[in-house]
Structure 1
Amino acid sequence: MVDIMGMLQASGSAAATIETVAGLHVYPRSVVSDGGSVFFLGRRGTEKQLGALMTSPGEEGFDWEVRPVSVGGRELLLGLGPTHHANARALRSRLPYTAPVPGGLRRSAGLGDRLGIATPGHIRALRHARDIFPVLAQQSIREIERTGSSPEQVLDAATWGVFQEGWRGGYGADADHLKTVADIDACAAAGFVLYTLDPRDHVDNDAETDGLDTLRRKFAALPWERLATSADETLRTYADKSWTLVGGRSLTLSEEELLRAACKYGRALVHLAGMYRHLTAVMGGRTF
């Protein structure tokens, strides 16, 4: 196997050597070898381009133009292509550190890039922080619609920023404030790995001030089958009951308090459960 990175570094700076053969300004932190080809991100004017130096044109999934170049007396192939969705998707597959991962219980910070150009700056700031997992792709569906963007564009912008800066600390992609299964479908197809579901449209705020007769009617009309219980069972389990909490404090739930809580949030819980089941099915075996 030809050591392309070794050939580039033999001339001093890998990025500088690539600049000479490609005719681009190359972001030094982006230059990386996957053991075969050497990938990089370059810029000509304001246009960024994905590039690779290869020994053969067999890089699957990438959309680029390939031409022969000479590096240190060795004939190689140079591929240059646009930073569009197909190439971002291929890059995430080829270089896994450019793809988002779940953050779990790690300390995290949401750094949603509303402009699609801020991720490199966010990463440079993160290099001065300690133990922070960045959620670099984070926008609500409403923000995406208002900016005329798409879930794919939001995630791709994060991917290119991570690639440009050579960030290998992992990052998250949060599909925020999802209200419908169509929202889930769009974000899952794009590759998001965190999901924030928004049930606000199913919250009954009038339940805070409704009279008891109205509350009882609403309570009886809740979709109990979808809640996997019944009105009578819920009353028996929670109404006028007390619980001792850690530290010795107690909590008592009156029938009226139970009715108000159930009427206000019951349908929201049903909606969330349905959204979660749909998300689980759409994600298949993928972790989220």
Structure 2
Amino acid sequence: MASEGDGGTILEGPLSAKNAAMVRAKMPVLKPRPIGLLASAGVGDRLGLATAGQVRAFRKSGSGIMPVFAQQSAREMDRLGRTPQRVLDDATFGCLQAGWDRPVGADADHLKSTDEVDRCLDAGFTSFTLDPGDHVRHLEGEPSDAQLAELPWGELEDTADAMMRRYAGRSIDLGDSVLRIPEGDIRFAAAKYGPAVAHVVSMYRHLMGRAKHPVEVEVSVDETDDVTTLIEHVYLATEMKRLGMEWVSFAPRYVGRFEKGVDYIGDRDELYRSLVQHSNIARAFGPYKISLHSGSDKFSIYDLVVEATGRLVHLKTSGTNYLVALDIAAQFAPELFREVYEVSREAYRGARSSYHVSAQLDRTPDIGEVPDERLPDLVASFDSRQILHVGYGAVLRTEDGTGPSSADAALRELLETRVDEYESLLESHIGRHLAPFSLMETR
């Protein structure tokens, strides 16, 4: 319904998919669009309530950064019972609530199948992170001729001999050095990543064949066991390009450890050198952006990432927004937080298998030993923070997974009651992520 307000018309109605579509029709700026090579940041939201606070962060600290408010992986959507349409619509309503009137993207993250592509495409997503990580092989030693023969050469539209001729004597200028490509390294790269190339090309062709609106692609192999070497990056880029793919960003498996919810673990100098070289490869074959997955809370490396990439970069955060919500619970609803903490600890052994984490349960305290005023410390401490981060599915869904849990309802009620504190904490925390990537340094 509509009523007259000061200086305009007030529209009232349910937060439905139909009304979200009408909002995007009346305010085309809120209709997601491809991002291209602009510096960008995805700030996913497990609860669908964080967008207004994230908008505040972008306004204050995100100058020159394209925001992606609608971002969630297929894995998280399935665990939470959220549809791609709901993810997109929640972001639309959050932008409307906060008065955001600038362009936005929408990232369907870590898609592993064409069915997942279809669901997100039909909802209106414009960025598709294709993840062929399940098809990346872990190899011990040099691959044999038999292992190479097993590659899906038909799908790759190639042969082993043709591949080796293609790379023979090849080198890549990395600016301050030249990357030469030995035959053995290409054999290894093909054996390791060949099936992944075949799979991602198949997904890409399916997406492009079905898309009725502008879309773009990121390729992600970050959730794999082994570091992506420079020659493997060259192999992936060469083969995807040969098979007709175009992409705007790429996420390799980096050196060091990009664990969930905590700072970077590893040698910063080594990471910087690696990022510079991966960025040079991205410029040579694209240009395309280097994408920083599991990028939340990596405060010690943001400056060097900006320097290494020249802002040709995409930052991805997600679960850290959920941790902000739990911080509010720790401060203002101690009994609810104690329940969340206990459920997360119980679920950790199973939940951890999907994520890069190293938290140990025996390094976290029994909740009964922690006084109310110390509960926020559990959100900040390494082990308990990771346990809380990956326990969201058990916390927010019923035990049989058929619907939202009582804790989900209680957390939502709390955040709506403490909306000012919640948005303020999001502004501060997400803003701390954005500031190093901003055109106007705000630190």
Contact 1:184 1:279 (8 Å CA) reproduced: yes
Structure number, greater radius of gyration:
1
Residue in structure 2 matched with residue 268 of structure 1 by the alignment: 196
Q: Distance in 2 between matches of 1:229 and 1:169?
A: 45
Residues 136 and 172 in structure 1, CA contact (< 8 A), matched pair in contact too: yes
The question of 1:201 aligning with 2:134 is answered: yes
In 1, distance between residues paired with 2:172 and 2:53?
49
Distance 1:251 1:118 in 2: 44
CA RMSD of aligned residues (A): 2.2
For 1:128 and 1:120, locate their aligned partners in 2 and report how far apart those are by CA, in whole Å. 13
Q: Do the aligned partners of residues 165 and 247 (structure 1) sit closer, same or farther apart at CA in structure 2, a change above 3 Å counting?
A: closer
| Shift of residue 91, structure 1, vs aligned partner | 2.0
Match of 1:254 in 2: 182
8 Å CA contact retained: 2:74, 2:108: yes
Aligned equivalent of 1:55: none
Q: In structure 2, give the amino acid aligned to 1:229.
A: D
Residue deviations 1:175-203 (CA, integer Å, cap 9, x gap) = 00000000000000111111101101111
Please give the residue correspondences for 1:110-189 in structure 2 after superposition, counting only pairs within 5 Å: 110-129=42-61, 130-189=63-122
Pick the structure with more helix per residue: 2
Instruction: Report whether the alignment pairs 1:192 with 2:125.
Output: yes
Distance of aligned partners of 1:218 and 1:87 in 2 relative to their CA distance in 1, 3 Å threshold: same
CA deviation string 1:34-58 (max 9, x = no partner) = xxxx3x4xxxxxxxxxx2xxxxxxx
The 1-side partners of 2:57 and 2:179 are apart by: 45
User: What TM-score comes out, normalization by structure 2 length?
Assistant: 0.45
Who is 1:245 aligned against?
A: 173
Task: Map residues 17-166 of structure 1 onto 2, 5 A cutoff.
Answer: 38=9, 40=10, 51=11, 80-129=12-61, 130-166=63-99
Gaps of 5+ in 1: 15-30, 32-37, 41-50, 52-79
- Partner of 1:83, secondary structure, is coil
Letter in 2 for 1:268: A
Counterpart of 2:98, as a letter, is E
Q: Is contact 1:242-1:250 (8 Å) kept? A: no
Letter in 1 for 2:16: H
Q: In 1, are the aligned partners of 2:128 and 2:215 still within 8 Å (CA)?
A: no
Shift of 1:245: 1.8
Note if contact 2:142-2:184 (Cα within 8 Å) is conserved in structure 1.
no
TM-score by length of 1: 0.69
Equivalent of 1:224 in 153, 157, 161: 153
User: What is the alpha-carbon distance in structure 1 between the residues aligned to residue 174 and residue 199 of structure 2?
Assistant: 31
Counterpart of 2:156 in 1: which secondary structure?
coil
| 2:157 partner amino acid | A
Q: How far off is 1:211 after superposition?
A: 4.8
State the shift of 1:222 in Å: 1.5
Q: Higher strand share goes to which structure?
A: 1
Higher relative contact order (CA 8 A, sep 6+): 2
- Please report how far the alpha carbon of residue 252 of structure 1 lies from its aligned counterpart in structure 2 after TM superposition: 2.9
Structure 1 residue identity aligned to 2:57: A
Specify every segment of 5 or more residues in structure 2 that has no aligned partner in the other structure, as ranges.
Answer: 217-443
Aligned length: 214
